[in-house]
Structure 1
Amino acid sequence: MEKLYREIIELAPDAILFADREGIIRLWNAGAEALFGFTAAEALGQSLDLIIPEKLRARHWEGYRRVMETGVTHYGKDLLSVPALHRQGTQLSSEFSIVMLRDEMGEVSGVAAILRDVTARWQKEKQLKERIAALEKIASQAAG
């Protein structure tokens, strides 16, 4: 059964990673390599800062430390949408869910995340909102 779990994780097209209590990457699948551009050898042992845009790091670590201390998160069932960082320095839009992992004593040992790149969808939605706003402006000018 363990071989099956390993294959599912490794072959999944979505990025699957695990970070320990300190935010150090301990698992990085092929989907994560494709999404972020870093090989597993480059990512393993590195801080999550590797994929977190600099302007969001303080907020991320505040929340991460709180979750590690309390063992409580709002994102166990809901998708979280956040910008992420590609190896080339470009920003992408991602959605992810997390799985809290605990040790034998029930203490949080870290967080697994399953991520997907939604940049193309986000850009389409942004363009549609801009078009709607422009049309609403034209309609209000024509009515007024």
Structure 2
Amino acid sequence: MAILRDEPMDAAGLLFRDLLEVAPDAILIVEADGRIARVNRQTEQLFGYSRDDLVGQEMEMLVPERFRRRHPGHRGRFFEDPRTRPMGVGLELFALRRDGTEFPAEISLSPLQTADGTLVSAAIRDVTERREYQQRLERQRDEILELSTPVIEVWDKVLALPIIGTLDSVRAARLTEGLLEKIAASQAEVVILDISGVPSIDTLVAQHLLKTVQAATLMGAASVLSGVRPETAQAMVHLGIELGQLRSRNTLRDALQLAIRIVHERTDTP
């Protein structure tokens, strides 16, 4: 196979070799038995091996120890159905350098049909910087969400949760989690959910609010909804949204007065 072995190459073979060397990703050409047939310069730089160290060795030497046992099975299934595709869709992949360090990797597989049979080309990219960038964005998003939905103790045993902006599933879950932690820490009796900053109420938003109320009830806290504007009330009626036993007030001030009364009633009840 002139393209892969150190034999005289024709023009196509030379072109293949040159393209392999200038590729921006580390590329391994692997035979069906898992042995490495050829690598490019980026592979040497990424993994810390020379090509003489790699060619002829099993590719599992580049796989972290904890994944090696399963890897030959994955490789075998690819050769049973060889087609261009990313490896490990939905999974976090890692590769192993010569010095024993690991890095998160993005791997694309492509079959190569040759006179000696089917080989696989594995293009490997270090995605450490991308992963760190995504993690920074997620941390920043979490911090923004926490700042945008602060749980405030406005009175003894009374918490207020001003909700501003849209309320999706992820934000609702974090909101509920933070609220429950605050209820437990402050032994709150009443929670005021202020929705004056929510641009619109639909069925999904209402469901999120009711789940938060239900969770607060299980913690022993009553809930009061405030900031219900006329257009919000009309929309909820039009959508047929039932708030059950949840009490509501037009303003945060009115809601606070109601909350204090509830606390006093609970205190006075033997």
Q: Please confirm whether the aligned pair reaches a TM-score higher than 0.5, indicating the same fold.
A: yes
Give the TM-score normalised by structure 1: 0.81
What is aligned with 1:54? 65
**Identity of aligned pairs, percent?**
29
Q: Which runs of 5+ in 1 are unaligned?
A: none
Q: 1:71 aligns with which of 70, 81, 85?
A: 81
Q: How does 1:62-101 map to 2 (within 5 A)?
A: 62-68=73-79, 70-73=80-83, 76-78=84-86, 82-101=93-112
Cα distance in 2 for partners of 1:79, 1:58 equals: 17
After alignment, is 21-30 or 9-18 more displaced?
A: 9-18
Identify if the C-alpha distance between structure 1 residues 57 and 130 changes in structure 2 by more than 3 Å, giving closer, same or farther. Answer: farther
What letter is aligned with 2:130? R
Q: How does 1:8-23 map to 2 (within 5 A)?
A: 8-23=19-34
Identify if the C-alpha distance between structure 1 residues 50 and 11 changes in structure 2 by more than 3 Å, giving closer, same or farther. Answer: same
SS at match of 1:10: helix
Aligned-pair distance for 1:127? 2.0
Cα distance in 1 for partners of 2:23, 2:76 equals: 28
What letter is aligned with 2:56? G
- The yes-or-no answer on 1:120 pairing with 2:129 is yes
Contact 2:82–2:110 (CA under 8 A) maintained in structure 1: no
> Structure 1: which 4+ aligned runs deviate by more than 6 Å?
none
Q: Which runs of 5+ in 2 are unaligned?
A: 1-10, 152-159, 162-270
| Higher CA-based Rg | 2
Aligned-pair distance for 1:103? 4.6
- More relative contact order in 1 or in 2 (CA 8 Å, sep 6+)? 1
Aligned-pair distance for 1:135? 3.0
SS at match of 1:132: helix
Identify if the C-alpha distance between structure 1 residues 77 and 71 changes in structure 2 by more than 3 Å, giving closer, same or farther. Answer: closer
Contact 2:47–2:96 (CA under 8 A) maintained in structure 1: yes
- How many matched pairs? 139
Contact 1:13–1:30 (CA under 8 A) maintained in structure 2: no
What is aligned with 1:40? 51
Give the TM-score normalised by structure 2: 0.46
Contact 1:99–1:113 (CA under 8 A) maintained in structure 2: yes
What letter is aligned with 1:95? E
SS at match of 1:141: coil
Q: CA RMSD in A?
A: 2.3
After alignment, is 9-18 or 30-39 more displaced?
A: 9-18
Aligned-pair distance for 1:78? 4.0
Aligned-pair distance for 1:61? 2.2
